[in-house]
Structure 1
Amino acid sequence: MKDSLHDYMKVGIVHFMAYPFALGGEGEIATSVAGIVEDEFFDEIEITRINDQAERDAVKGLLTSSGIAVGFGAQPYILKGKLNLNSLDEAERTTAIDTLKSAIDQAYEVGATKLGFLSGPKPPAQDRQKALELLADSIIQLGHYAKSKGDLVLSLETFDDSTDKKALIGTNRLACELALEVRKAIPDFGLMVDLSHLPMQGETIRQALSATEEFINHAHIGNCVIRDPADPAYGDLHPHFGHPKGENHVPQVREFLRGLLDIGYLREDADERNVVAFEVQPLGDQRSAVIIAEAKRVLREAWRTL
């Protein structure tokens, strides 16, 4: 395609994956955020909790002055805290809801317009329907809380249900069933589809995007390793696109972009460009800046060859 990819999408990046030290909310987060917002290639950044108030204020200043769109990732809250929004234990589920409410509070504090999260783990088969009902109730509670404070949009990221995270919402078909129910109460609730999760979900790009066409409100692109359990990058670690055992590179990113165009998620005439964000992580002694630069090259080449 001849038009600039930025005419069709807001190119984003998951900061806390590109800089994994930030996952727990500690460290000199503002310095790494500055490196991203100073790069005009990026129109959007996704951050997570920042525990120190002074550091959070510094990041907020960078975000506000840069004009970049901001997303807030609550995935680390859930994964690191082992939270379960679909727990059959009501006390456990309440803890998860209350913790995500605190994530919503911080999202508003830093000027985020969207909050990403995921379901709890996949329960035994006999409990799955009840867990799905409880998850819908949890999301509706969070949606009402978010709307009581402003216009923050919720986006449930679909994960795998058998390879690594083993989440309840591990297929995009099931995610759509959930979204249909949640939207009765929270009309702008949507789904986040991640290219790096599709091989683990056992779905093709076309299957995933066709299923979620009505509900997708966020997209991630990344890579995964699933064929060699002994490889250090195995599972949901989002290695760089050039990983020798990875599933995704230029051809898969190109197909994903084509699918996003076909379902209308990407449109040149959109009033508001939708986000396509990198989720890539340096592993071992790799440098964040190098992994980010490679991801940008992959996206440009995928777009050039559409």
Structure 2
Amino acid sequence: MLAVSVKKGRNAHLVPFPWKISIVAFMANPPLMKSDVQAAVETITVLAKDPFFDVIEVNLMSDEAWETVAPILQSSGVDVAVGLQPMTTAQGLNPSSVNEDERRKAVEALSQAIKIAAARGVKKVGFSSGADPGPENREAAKDSLVKSLKELASLGSRLGVSLILETFDREWDKRQLIGPIDEAVEVVREVRQEYSNIGLLWDLSHAPMLNEKPAALFRAKDYLSHIHIGCSKKLPDGRMVDWHPGFYRPGAVNGVEDVEELLRVLAEIGYSGAVGFEVKPEEGQHWREVVEAAKGVLYTAFARVVERE
């Protein structure tokens, strides 16, 4: 639990952080992505015992890795969410494909992953839209995505699972269809005409690549389910990449001021979901270094918000 002590006149006030705090475990310690059992035990043990965190976001681990860490998670009392973004980015599954065979293949794979997550007691699953086909096929791809999301939301509603669609960059690195927040809202709004168990994930680290600021969330306030805090990285040649470096690493774009701005906006729009870290160690860094640095940035940003109220 995060709280800051602020002095007002002669009195000191302890102000608790108003949202649950999460962390993407498989980004914080990348060997977890490969269902490395030793890495899974180490990572989950450390994060589950850290009182800072209320939610741990895991990848779809192998049965062996999950069976090893499930007792740790259950005894800790933390919430668990599953991130399927690697399926729609690294593995290239595309639920927005205008090719029906490709779209169906993606829906079937994501459906199976949702079923596994539900069987493990997980109630929230996140993923992205799939690759952007370019301006000429973009509207057709959005129609395909809506069709896929309705099918997945129907399954999720039967299993008690909520879906979270994450917005990614469209031009720089991951190059996903969704994309700008306004278009993300349009897609989710259409799905919600039939299914309510879907929302959006907005990631601060993707904002610079989308030319977005936290103020954009005013237009998405009714659809936000989750927030990620992290940094995109600007390379010496000017390119931006979605590598999620730790705060204040060389090339890291976002800083404590951006986090402070984000927290102010979330408070103003009445956001009620979780706020989570997505940070990744670079070469030569221990994974816990980037986690502890991120915790410090969030503490400082929240303290500034409270002090200026």
Aligned to 2:193: 184
Deviation at 1:106, TM superposition (A): 2.3
Alignment partners' CA distance in 2, 1:34 and 1:225: 29
Structural RMSD (CA) = 1.7
Residues 115-126 of structure 1: matches in 2 within 5 Å? Answer: 115-126=125-136
**Contact 1:10–1:42 at 8 Å: present in 2 too?**
yes
Q: Is the alpha carbon distance of 1:4 and 1:103 closer, same or farther for their aligned partners in structure 2, counting shifts above 3 Å? A: farther
Q: Does 1:172 align with 2:181?
A: yes
The residue correspondences of 1:222-261 to structure 2 (distance < 5 A) are 222-226=230-234, 228-229=236-237, 234-261=240-267
2:126·2:166 contact (CA, 8 Å) conserved in 1? yes
Partner residue in 2 for 1:195? 204
Query: Do the aligned partners of 1:72 and 1:115 also contact (CA within 8 Å) in 2?
Result: yes
State the match for 2:10 in structure 1: none
Find the counterpart in structure 1 of residue 33 from structure 2: 23
1:27-53 Cα deviation digits (max 9, x unpaired) = 4212211110011111110001112x2
Deviation at 1:184, TM superposition (A): 0.8
Deviation at 1:6, TM superposition (A): 4.6
Aligned length: 294
Q: Which amino acid aligns with 1:30?
A: V
SS in 1 for 2:234: coil
Match of 1:152 in 2: 161
Quote the residue 1:275 is aligned against: 274
TM-superposed deviation, 1:7: 4.2
Structure 1 pair 126/195, CA: closer, same or farther in 2 (3 Å)?
same
Larger radius of gyration: 2
SS in 2 for 1:299: helix
Structure 1: distance between partners of 2:211 and 2:293: 26
Look up the match of 1:74: 84
Q: 2:293 corresponds to which letter in structure 1?
A: E
SS in 2 for 1:163: coil
**Corresponding position of 2:46:** 35
C-alpha contact 2:231 2:247 (8 A) present in aligned 1: yes
Match of 1:270 in 2: none
Alignment of 1:297 with 2:296, yes or no, is yes
Structure 2 residue matching 1:141: 3-state secondary structure: helix
Query: C-alpha separation between the residues in 2 aligned to 1:291 and 1:155?
Result: 25
**TM-score (normalised: structure 2):** 0.91
1:287 corresponds in structure 2 to: 286
Distance 2:15 2:37 in 1: 33
Q: Is the 8 A contact 2:37 2:64 kept in 1?
A: no
Q: 1:188 and 1:88 mapped to 2: Cα distance?
A: 24
Q: 1:83 and 2:82 equivalent?
A: no
Q: Which runs of 5+ in 1 are unaligned?
A: 267-273
Indicate how the Cα distance of structure 1 residues 236 and 255 shifts in structure 2: closer, same or farther if over 3 A, else same: same
* Deviation by residue 1:181-215 (Cα, 9 ceiling, x = unmatched): 010111131100101100000112212x1121111
Deviation at 1:244, TM superposition (A): 3.4
1:269 aligned partner: none
Q: What is the distance in 2 between the residues matched to 1:171 and 1:230?
A: 21
**Cα distance in 2, alignment partners of residues 178 and 281 from structure 1:** 30
Q: Give the Cα separation in 1 of the matches to 2:83 and 2:236.
A: 29
More strand by share: 2
Indicate the SS of the match to 2:206. helix
Residue ranges of structure 2 left out of the alignment (5+ in a row): 7-12
Per the alignment, residue 9 of structure 2 pairs with none
d(CA) in 2 for partners of 1:43, 1:131: 36
TM-score by length of 1: 0.91
- 1:5 CA drift (Å): 6.4
Give secondary structure in 2 for the equivalent of 1:135.
helix
Contact persistence 1:200–1:226 (CA under 8 A): no
Separation in 2, partners of 1:24, 1:90? 30
Change (3 A) 1:229 1:117: farther
CA–CA separation in structure 1 for the residues paired with 2:24 and 2:15? 19
Of residues 227, 230, 235, the one that matches 1:219 is 227
Distance 2:171 2:238 in 1: 17
Query: Equivalent residue of 1:127, what SS?
Result: helix
